Structures are given as C-alpha cells and as structure tokens.
Structure 1
C-alpha cells in the first residue's frame, strides 16, 4: 500500500488555512500548479474528495475536515521524532519563534536574548510582535513556539503560565505644571490623553480603569508604539498611562515625570505554549531564560 506523502498533507492543510491554492503556494514557496498536483494526488491516493467550493470560497469536505484533525496529530508525532533525534546532537541549536507585544519586546527581551546568544551561538531566537489575539492564534497553529502576552488569555489547546506582574503609571512632560497631586481617573479625565490604539490588551486594561470610575476616555491621540507615546508626552502634547517597565530608568532622559495611579492598575504577563508542544533543548533553554524575569 502506498504511504501518505507528508508534503501533500502539508499542502492540503495550507490551502484550507489560507483559503486558496495561490496563497498556499506563496507560503510554501511553490507554484500553484505544484500545490494543485499535491491535492489531486492526495485525493487520488485516498479516493476521496477533500476540497469543495461554496460561493466561490474553498472549504474542506466532511472527509477533508476529518483529515485535518489527523494532520495536526501527524505533525506533532513527526516533530516529536525530530526532537528525539536532535537530543543525540551536542549543544543547543535550532530556531525558536516568540510572539509578544511591542513593550515586552523592547523592554524585557533584549537582555534575555543577548545572554542566550552569548551562551548558545547556534540558537536562533526570532521575535515577532502583534496583538494578543493574533499571537495566540499563531501559537495554536504552531507558527509560533511560544508567546509572552498580557493575561488573561485563553485557548482550548493552550498552556498558560503567569510570569510577572507590572504596574501601570501615569507619565507627563517634566514641564507640565498642572499635574494632579493624586492621579485618579477623575483628576485626569479632562486632560489630553495620548494612549495605546484601541483593541490592544493594554488599551483594554486602561479603558477598564476609567470605566470602573464611571468615566469613558476621549483620547487626543491613539498610537501603536510605546516609543511614539513617550515622545508625544515628552513634547508636552498630553499625558499617558503606560506599563512601568516602559519608563524604568529612562524617564529623566526622556523629560518625563512618572506618577503612580490611584487606584493602582496592574497587568500580568504570561507564557503561552501549545499543551502538546514538545520541549526540545532549544525551546527549554528559552523558557528557562524567561523564568529569570520572575520576582
């Protein structure tokens, strides 16, 4: 009996994931006819139709949906086998992909990655940033090995471990003369606010801080970059509420005044992995390095 071709299975999964043969071909660095041939050969091997078009959209058939569930398990078994083989090699090598938010990427990860590079030159750690939902989806789909995100986070196939707490602070230009003595939502609501863009997990926490006081914010600026926010505040264009880690040790250089919030606002950062993620040497070393952020 002819065995299933793993390449054909991967092509099928990519076509369903991206909704078209051309998009799958682009991701796989193949031609569209090559991907079409993979699917045709797979259907002929199984003697089943796996893909159908509904309202000009590609969808898996019932048989195709069943196959997709098996492909996930097949990929996990193959990865387990490769990791077992890698354990016979000396040293720590390979690639680990991390997803996180921009603040953690800038203010937490650089010293961790620097130390890993010094200890394990053959270890390739790649970092991408994005919103929490997108990062979690990438972990679920095994496009990222782990994530460092603001909690709460959820996913049926995910293992989520709290790592560290970080409080929020209000920042003002050092030349701002009307800074309230106590930084409450009521004291801030009439001042111009420069804040993270809507939809981010950090923005949701800030919105909730005001909503608990019965207030709804009307920002003068909504930005996606913590560095841009600090520059705008330093230029005297408004105040902001940011994680303390983003201004630790640098507020004097930026010309910023940092004040605690009342009531306090905190967030928890956590590590997210697939529950069935095999912990090879490379991934284990990255996780151990991240654990040094505790406390």
Structure 2
C-alpha cells in the first residue's frame, strides 16, 4: 500500500472539524471537486468508507474517526519537521520541545521565555502541559527534549533528573474572609477549599499534609489550573492551596498572580518540589543547553 497523502489527511481533518465538504473546501482554498477526490482516493487506498455524506452535514464513520485521530498527530509531526528545516535554513539555532506540569504557574513560564529571548534569541520553545509521568515517558521515547516534573522522579535509561525548585505551599484566601495568621489542617478542613484533581501529585502532596494531622477532607472543587483556582478564590468561592513561586533570586516579591488575595503560610509548612529532566544523549545540543541554562537561572533551592 502506498503511503498516506498528508494533503488528503488534512482534508479529512478539516471535514471533521467543520462538518461539511463545502466548508472544508473553503477553509483549505480547494475546489469542492478536489475535496471529494481527496476523500475518494483515501477511501480507495484504505479500502474503507471514511465519510457519510448527508444533505447538509458530513459525518465520519468509525474508520474515519480513527484516521482523523492519527492524522492530527501526523500533521503536527510534519509541521514540526518543516519548522525545524525552516529555522535551520535561516540560520536559527533550533526548536526545543519542553513539557511542564499544570502546577507551574502562568507567572513563572513567561519569566523563562523572557530570559531565553534575551540570552538565546535564536532558540524557540514548543511547550506542552503534561503529567510528570507522561513527560518522563516521552523523554524516554525521544519525543521530548526537556521537562519540568514534580519530584520525586526516578531517573532511568537515558533520562536524567535533577532538583530545580522548592516552593512553599500557601493558602490563598478570599479578600473579605476573616483569616488566621497561619492556615492549619484543622482550619482548612473546615473551609470551602479547592484543589487539583486526585490523579495529580499536587493533590497527593496536600492529602499527605492533611493525613499527618489525622484528617481526610474532600475538596469542594477540583481544577487542574492554578489561574482558574486563583480566580475562584478572588470571587469568594473558597480557599486554594497552591505553591508560592518566588522569582529565582533571593528576596523576590510575592508573585503578581496573587494580587488582592490573602496569602497565608501553612502550619506545619509544606513544600512543592520540582525537578528538571532531560536525555543524557543530548547534553551537547546547543539549543537544549540554552533552554536548560534559562531554566537553571530560575532555580530556587
């Protein structure tokens, strides 16, 4: 069987996203007969019906849905290859694939990209938000270059892990609430509190803190996004326990994302530890080293 034609796969994906062959033709700047030809050739090549053509809508068959799912990955990979070739042809240094956990705030990542832009303007970063387990697996498979992961993580094979940041966990409390000087497990268990979901290491970290006090309260709400949790706190819907990400210098100010909220230390203290992971076989890649150096400039022991 001949290889898939990516233009034809892109046509099928456009039909899946837009719902009609006519809309796909318009979006792809193709004549409607060309769109129909793309689908017919795909179906002939695969020996399977991919699209059910209705009077007003086009829907995918199960085989079509399977091809669209895989086709999205093929198209993303092709785009990445084209971008790498383009950058090398223009004399740029390269593209680095970096993964981060959802618990890293939207305040820390812009500081990373700003430093990288100053220090290595020819290096670009493709950022993915992944669980630490998925990031470690993709590093091992060679589909990532660097990852910010929750600690502890076991290094293995070609993947190296080193400590990066240790940030204190704090309670973020609505401005109008009567809050204590410190947030204890007993006080927090009696409040409307919100957290990351049970599948995350952030949740397990907080659950362990409660367990040490003999408590096992259930959060009122679970959201795997720091900014969303902060917004809900600001609106008075509850308390959130999140890391306080100080800048990578001593004596830095409280991060701006918490402006207007009451910030209270936890008692007993609790810390969120992050690490940096990379493949040992790429320690001499200049673009990866540039991103690694920018990350290390934000380290907090």
In the TM superposition, residue 92 of structure 1 has moved relative to its aligned partner by 5.9
In the TM superposition, residue 245 of structure 1 has moved relative to its aligned partner by 1.5
Gaps of 5+ in 1: 1-20, 30-85
2:108 aligned residue: 108
1:237–1:140 CA distance, 2 compared to 1 (3 A): same
- The answer (yes or no) to whether the contact 2:107–2:256 under 8 Å persists in 1 is no
- The answer (yes or no) to whether the contact 1:92–1:282 under 8 Å persists in 2 is no
Q: CA RMSD in A?
A: 2.7
1:95 aligned residue: 95
Q: Which sits farther off after the overlay, 244-253 or 204-213?
A: 244-253
Describe the SS at the equivalent of 1:270. Answer: strand
Describe the SS at the equivalent of 1:176. Answer: coil
Deviation digits for residues 39-83 of structure 1, max 9, x if unmatched?
Answer: xxxxxxxxxxxxxxxxxxxxxxxxxxxxxxxxxxxxxxxxxxxxx
In the TM superposition, residue 112 of structure 1 has moved relative to its aligned partner by 2.0
Q: Which sits farther off after the overlay, 102-111 or 141-150?
A: 102-111
In the TM superposition, residue 198 of structure 1 has moved relative to its aligned partner by 1.6
2:26 aligned residue: none
Compute the TM-score of the two structures, normalised by the length of structure 2.
0.65
Deviation digits for residues 235-259 of structure 1, max 9, x if unmatched?
Answer: 1111111001289333663x31000
Which whole-Å CA distance do the structure 2 matches of 1:119 and 1:182 have between them? 40
Q: How many residues align?
A: 216
2:254 aligned residue: 248
2:250 aligned residue: none
Deviation digits for residues 182-229 of structure 1, max 9, x if unmatched?
Answer: 321112211111111221111111111101111112111111111111
Which whole-Å CA distance do the structure 1 matches of 2:244 and 2:272 have between them? 10
1:264 aligned residue: 269
Which whole-Å CA distance do the structure 2 matches of 1:232 and 1:115 have between them? 30
Gaps of 5+ in 2: 1-65, 76-87, 247-252
In the TM superposition, residue 162 of structure 1 has moved relative to its aligned partner by 0.5
